[in-house]
Structure 1
Amino acid sequence: MDRAVFDRMAEIDNEHWWFAARRDIIASLIERQAKLGRRLRILEVGCGTGSNLALLQRYGDVDAIEPDDPARALATSRSGVPVKGGLLPDGVKLEDSAYDLIVLLDVLEHIPDDEATLAALRSKLAPDGRLIVTVPAAPWMWSAHDLAHHHQRRYTAKTLTDVFQAAGFRVRYRSHFNTVLFPLIAAARIAGRLLRREGGDDAIPPRPVNRLLRGLFGAERHLLGRASLPFGVSLALVAEPANR
């Protein structure tokens, strides 16, 4: 991502409705889809400025990777986690069969070779380990926001499933999310295309609006991990190695 995008994330990721509600949803996914009951060994790939690390530390001992130097330094100072540098699939040394849970939270869409990256991570999972990803959905919604964030692609349910299967995974659970606000966000992205707006759309709205949007989006945590939603701005998927 552009340096300015990382800097903006560091300013807003504690309060912005999207980041805050997504953490609630991720917590629900972990609690319903990961094998809890003990402290897990967890890896976050592409932790950015570290806004998810405190959440992950509730469930176990956390390692993290982030290739951007300033973002990595901020993530480390925020969390106390010594975040590693490097790029997957070949640029990071990780222990085989080490992790109970690996998460890529709106990261896979940034990686040019998503299949090779997933294949590399498969061998890092423990025998009963799980991998959780969230990605942007609906390729037709491609906009200046995706360009500003250096996305390589948006996924459909099929293309996301296909790349996991090609990388040697079995899909346990898959669902769209950010469904309640889908019409509003889709309309905003279409309007941005028509008006040729540039840059992302991640400004924090006024506090009452921010609170309302967080409540609407975050309410989906009661369904995610239990039911599958048929459409939405994003996709979540939980997988395990197919040969285990």
Structure 2
Amino acid sequence: MKFCNHCNSQYDADDFICSKCSSAALVEDGIVIHAPEMAYVGGGFKTEAFENLAKLEEKNFWFRSRNQLIIWLMQRFLLKNQQGQSLGKYLEIGCGTGYVLKGVKTAFNNTDAFGSEIFLSGLEQAKGRLDDINLMQMDARAIPYQDEFDVVGAFDVLEHIKEDEKVISEVYRALKLGGFFIATVPQHHWLWSQVDDYACHQRRYEANELQDKMKVAGFKIVETTSFVSLLVPLMYISRSQKRDGRTEFNPSDELALNPVLNFILYTAMKLELGLIKLGIRFSIGGSRLVIGKKQ
């Protein structure tokens, strides 16, 4: 069902014209725009970074490894149809350049996938990657759906939003009963550095913070683990040097890595994924993944 954020009513329609108050979403270049006042400017992210991200993330060890972890856990917990490789109806909030969304659609080819992003500049990059996915501009604090999706994903999005608990409650409303919310966030405040400042992070989450907020919204936690755990010592040293000003900060340093170093770090992350597949769950790590189920 569609949900009107103007009059708080549900309605069933192919387009976004509320049957009760007649409010309508804009459409620009085939993209539905729900929050036009934030489509080009606003907090939470530096929009000029999207173009650089689109060029670098496919080769970067962290983005590749995170995708592999997300897809494996989706296959284990969220798959609706083993034979058809479908998640059902899937929404990704804050899809950015579409890197994760493309990976999900490739892995689960029969999924009815939707991608949302608050900035149109991100969606412009995503359109270049994706030709069979519905894209929309949307504020995650006002999701225009209710009881609609089987799975909602948010991958390193919540930390950019001050009202993260509002977003989690909106996701809960947008999911069908029994649907799943899968999210990743950066972890441990003691890893805070100029990288977080540049990325416009509101917070790094503590170990149980995200799952506690999801429980308050009504979710049952079905899986959680830290990741980027084997690399925490290196990460701590690197972030400490940036935080203390011992090395000059360059926002591309953690993306455009030396190929040899990138391969070594990717190998470490592959080992870590193997340990997670064996049932090991890490309490400490640069990031945290949580899956919640709508009860």
TM-score (norm 1): 0.92
Matched AA of 1:216: A
Q: Which residue of 1 is the match for residue 112 of structure 2?
A: 61
CA offsets 1:1-22 (integer angstroms, 9 cap, x no match)? 1133222211101111111111
Gaps of 5+ in 2: 1-44
Q: From 78, 102, 123, give the equivalent of 2:129.
A: 78
Greater helix share, structure number: 1
Matched AA of 1:83: L
- 3-state SS of paired residue (1:18): helix
**Kept after mapping to 1: 8 A contact 2:155/2:185:** yes
In the TM superposition, what is the alpha-carbon distance from 1:191 to its structure 2 partner?
A: 1.0
In the TM superposition, what is the alpha-carbon distance from 1:219 to its structure 2 partner?
A: 2.7
Matched AA of 2:214: F
Q: Which has the higher contact order (CA 8 A, sep 6+)?
A: 1
CA offsets 1:175-230 (integer angstroms, 9 cap, x no match)? 11101111101110011111264453423222222122112113322344643112
- 3-state SS of paired residue (2:90): strand
Output aligned runs, 1:114-125, within 5 Å.
114-125=164-175
Task: Write the distance in 1 (CA, Å) between the matches of 2:128 and 2:48.
Answer: 19
Q: Does 1:188 align with 2:228?
A: no
Task: Write the distance in 2 (CA, Å) between the matches of 1:53 and 1:132.
Answer: 13
Q: Does 1:7 align with 2:54?
A: no
Task: Write the distance in 1 (CA, Å) between the matches of 2:259 and 2:160.
Answer: 30
Task: Write the distance in 1 (CA, Å) between the matches of 2:114 and 2:217.
Answer: 22
**Kept after mapping to 2: 8 A contact 1:9/1:49:** yes
Q: Does 1:17 align with 2:61?
A: yes
**Kept after mapping to 1: 8 A contact 2:113/2:134:** no
Task: Write the distance in 1 (CA, Å) between the matches of 2:257 and 2:250.
Answer: 16
Matched AA of 1:51: Y
Q: Which residue of 2 is the match for residue 205 of structure 1?
A: 257
Task: Write the distance in 2 (CA, Å) between the matches of 1:101 and 1:160.
Answer: 17
Greater displacement, 210-219 / 8-17:
210-219
Q: Which residue of 1 is the match for residue 70 of structure 2?
A: 26
Q: Which residue of 1 is the match for residue 287 of structure 2?
A: 234
Task: Write the distance in 1 (CA, Å) between the matches of 2:103 and 2:275.
Answer: 19
Q: Which residue of 1 is the match for residue 224 of structure 2?
A: 174
Task: Write the distance in 1 (CA, Å) between the matches of 2:89 and 2:116.
Answer: 14
**Kept after mapping to 2: 8 A contact 1:28/1:224:** no
- 3-state SS of paired residue (1:123): helix
Q: Which residue of 1 is the match for residue 32 of structure 2?
A: none
Matched AA of 1:104: A
In the TM superposition, what is the alpha-carbon distance from 1:45 to its structure 2 partner?
A: 0.6
Larger radius of gyration: 2
The number of aligned residues is: 240
CA-based RMSD = 1.7
CA offsets 1:21-58 (integer angstroms, 9 cap, x no match)? 11111111111221432522111110000111221112
Matched AA of 1:163: K
In the TM superposition, what is the alpha-carbon distance from 1:77 to its structure 2 partner?
A: 2.5
- 3-state SS of paired residue (2:197): helix
Greater displacement, 146-155 / 67-76:
67-76
**Once the two structures are aligned, what percentage of the paired residues are identical?**
27
**Kept after mapping to 2: 8 A contact 1:5/1:148:** no
